[in-house]
Structure 1
Amino acid sequence: MAAPGVIVGMSGGVDSSVAALRLRDAGEPIAGLFMDNWADDGSGHCRADEDRRDAVAVCGRLGIPIHFRDFSQEYWAGVFEHFLADYAVGRTPNPDVLCNREIKFKHFLDAARELGAARIATGHYARVDHDGRHWRLLRAADRSKDQSYFLHQLGQEQLAATLFPLGGLQKDAVRGMAAAAGLPTAAKKDSTGICFVGERDFREFLGQYLPARAGEIRTPDGQVVGGHQGVFYYTLGQREGLHIGGRRGFADRPWYVVGKDVAGNVLTVDQGHDSPWLMSQALRSETAHWIAGAPPSTVFRCTAQTRYRQQEEPCEVTVDDSGTLRVAFERPQRAVTPGQSVVLYDGEACLGGAVIATTDAPAGTRGVPA
């Protein structure tokens, strides 16, 4: 059998299924590859077996071969250890960004080349083109599903070897194609959240690796209003799980996390979704990654997102000599969180991005390395 020209990353979901369907119908010689990225911990929450069965069933329906690779050790070292280290110092990491950089567009790409393929394809909602000088990562046509935020760490080599067959489609059209082709994943619910946590309680999961350390919940002026089991269990802007309730002397309004003092083990909260303690006008980042290999200038204007599906915001970016960024927004931004990513855009094109180190929010996250 001739080597496939494209290996499709088959996740067992509808998006990768339709990515494979479109390439097959376009006449591409393809094969699928299912990645095991997390060793089953016996909790009963891991969907890997179900996803594997669905991936096999889809490839059978499409009449294409499927391969299997176990990347669980690579995932632990390249993604999960960083995830735990960030939470331990009070940051809120984004494992999907690391997974794309370290697993799906590194080890998966290497595996595809070992199988003789020149390119890979995934079910991500994004687009790739070439402007005559560089490969570009573009937003998807379906802005509500656009995943370029999670892909901003890709570079020229990866984009040159990657296809995103769903980039020009709307999500409802993808499900319609799957149903018309009789694919068993047509009505399968999309996975949400962090893959290795599954449907279980996040605090319970994290507590297996970061033991609880009780401390005080205080208002910005130092009044104790409750207690917590560990500041690393919370993220800025969080409302759920505080268990503060009604307090004499305070308005009957929801409480939100507005600051985390890791060294002092104090969680700071305030009332109101748009508390001024949650707002920041500027941030500093770790070393940035540029999709084109270099920034457009040392000082430039663009738009940015600090969370997935967030409305992009105009800003000015200054690239320091060390490669880190200073990003100043036109308007204050809510709950900009160290450990998450600031991702930069020029129109539809993603320029790159970086991990957020610190912000100018009044409380923020103290004790986080800048």
Structure 2
Amino acid sequence: MRVLAAMSGGVDSAVAAARAVAAGHEVTGVHLALSAKPGTLRTGARGCCTIEDARDARRAADVLGIPFYVWDFAERFTEEVVDEFVAEYAAGRTPNPCLRCNEKIKFEALLDKAIALGFDAVATGHYARLSTVDGVVELRRSADDGKDQSYVLASLTHEQLAHAMFPLGDSTKAEVRVEAAERGLQVADKPDSHDICFIPDGDTRGFLTRRLGEQPGVLVDDETGAVLGRHVGVHEFTVGQRKGLGIDAPAPDGRPRYVLSLEPVSGTVRVGAAEKLQVTEIVAQRPVTRITFDGPVECVAQVRAHGGLAPAVAEVVDGELLVHLREPLSGVAPGQAVAVYREDAEAGDLVLASATISATQ
């Protein structure tokens, strides 16, 4: 097959490309330029869109002996990922930009262009597994539970998965680093990128304030309605947040307060006790399903990229994914994604559906 390998400049995508070559595919490497003004150097282990990363990707392609290109997706990335991220926070929701990047950039914009150019598949360094049952491609958890990325890929459609390759799905991170060193790839010991790539300094609050400006509001005790403090914008907070609330006085019972809800129109941030964060019902919009939901389905729900799992029952009603948690989860916020899985110890848990959370109870 003709395979386009998305090469970020990190060890995972380099080894994924190497494995595609070793499997006998005709591989071409491509680095996505996602920033209009890429930094010269990475800030520690943050980010993956710098000039240095592009050079690392090119060096890896040279070692593998494959053609290499840089494609400018900065404008599309800004519109589809960065601008949406800002708008979601302004609306009091908590988005996942990595999930949106996979959906809109790597497996929509990139895949569409790859197919138009005659490629059969796009290979990435994601830790997830694919299997085919009755001609339908299914998405499963990776062998490395600690690195599993099926959650941020769960919004991909059957058609997109049919043109995807995840060569690292059966490996652990440690194995990938050893293989990179054995193949002579200089990125073998390169630190992983983390957090949000377009906020390389990690200051999400500062980034949003620069984009949205100050929109003053108040912090209110959910029990008494008392005003406990003031803030410059609901975008500074997320549901479940404990630190940095700017509240001087402790709660009457001495226990910490957490953000319970955000009301962007009034500028109100409601805070209260930890037990009020517990959620047992999730309503999610725009579901992408991999099975036919003829009724309630036993599953495991996941609400964060790493962690946030609970046994559940899911069903699709009137175009929405309803998830009834058998065990409560905390810090579940509108804007996050919920993915539901069928447990399968032998083949890897199967992704049944994914949707964007719109309400909780």
Q: State the Cα RMSD in Å.
A: 2.0
Please say if residues 301 and 341 of structure 2, whose CA atoms lie closer than 8 Å, have aligned partners that are also in contact.
Answer: yes
Residue 85 of structure 2 corresponds to 83
Provide the C-alpha distance between the structure 2 equivalents of 1:128 and 1:144, rounded to a whole number of angstroms: 18
Give the TM-score, by structure 1 length: 0.89
Residue 351 of structure 1 corresponds to 352
Three-state SS of the structure 1 residue aligned to 2:325 is strand
Note the C-alpha offset of 1:344. Answer: 0.9
Provide the C-alpha distance between the structure 2 equivalents of 1:184 and 1:126, rounded to a whole number of angstroms: 24
Please say if residues 261 and 270 of structure 2, whose CA atoms lie closer than 8 Å, have aligned partners that are also in contact.
Answer: yes
Q: How does 1:201-220 map to 2 (within 5 A)?
A: 201-220=203-222
Note the C-alpha offset of 1:325. Answer: 1.8
Residue 4 of structure 2 corresponds to 7
Q: How does 1:218-367 map to 2 (within 5 A)?
A: 218-220=220-222, 221-245=224-248, 247=250, 249-251=252-254, 253-271=255-273, 275-290=274-289, 292=290, 294-321=291-318, 323-347=319-343, 348-360=349-361
Three-state SS of the structure 1 residue aligned to 2:18 is helix
Residue 37 of structure 1 corresponds to 34
Please say if residues 128 and 141 of structure 2, whose CA atoms lie closer than 8 Å, have aligned partners that are also in contact.
Answer: yes
Matched to 1:232, the amino acid is H
Note the C-alpha offset of 1:247. Answer: 3.3
How many equivalent pairs are there? 350
Three-state SS of the structure 2 residue aligned to 1:186 is helix
Note the C-alpha offset of 1:309. Answer: 1.2
Runs of 4+ in 1 over 3 A off after TM superposition: 41-47, 245-250
Provide the C-alpha distance between the structure 1 equivalents of 2:333 and 2:324, rounded to a whole number of angstroms: 15
Three-state SS of the structure 2 residue aligned to 1:287 is strand
- Structure 1 residues 309-342: Cα deviation after superposition (integer angstroms, max 9, x where no partner): 1152111223112x11221111221011100001
Distance 1:88 1:162, change over 3 A: same
- Structure 1 residues 279-304: Cα deviation after superposition (integer angstroms, max 9, x where no partner): 111011112111x3x53323222111
Provide the C-alpha distance between the structure 2 equivalents of 1:248 and 1:207, rounded to a whole number of angstroms: 28
Provide the C-alpha distance between the structure 1 equivalents of 2:339 and 2:331, rounded to a whole number of angstroms: 15
Matched to 2:107, the amino acid is F
- Structure 1 residues 148-175: Cα deviation after superposition (integer angstroms, max 9, x where no partner): 0000111122111111010000111111
Matched to 1:289, the amino acid is V
Note the C-alpha offset of 1:250. Answer: 4.7
Matched to 2:149, the amino acid is Q
Note the C-alpha offset of 1:10. Answer: 0.3
Three-state SS of the structure 2 residue aligned to 1:68 is strand
Note the C-alpha offset of 1:350. Answer: 0.5
Please say if residues 310 and 328 of structure 2, whose CA atoms lie closer than 8 Å, have aligned partners that are also in contact.
Answer: no
Matched to 1:349, the amino acid is L
**Aligned equivalent of 2:62, options 39, 60, 71:** 60
Distance 1:121 1:248, change over 3 A: closer
Residue 364 of structure 1 corresponds to none
Provide the C-alpha distance between the structure 2 equivalents of 1:51 and 1:43, rounded to a whole number of angstroms: 9
Residue 161 of structure 1 corresponds to 163
Q: Which moved further from structure 2: 208-217 or 100-109?
A: 208-217
Provide the C-alpha distance between the structure 2 equivalents of 1:276 and 1:248, rounded to a whole number of angstroms: 14
Distance 1:152 1:248, change over 3 A: closer
- Structure 1 residues 205-258: Cα deviation after superposition (integer angstroms, max 9, x where no partner): 11122112222222222233322221122101112322335538451x443212
Note the C-alpha offset of 1:73. Answer: 1.6
Provide the C-alpha distance between the structure 1 equivalents of 2:315 and 2:293, rounded to a whole number of angstroms: 11
Matched to 1:226, the amino acid is G
**Aligned equivalent of 2:73, options 71, 74, 92:** 71
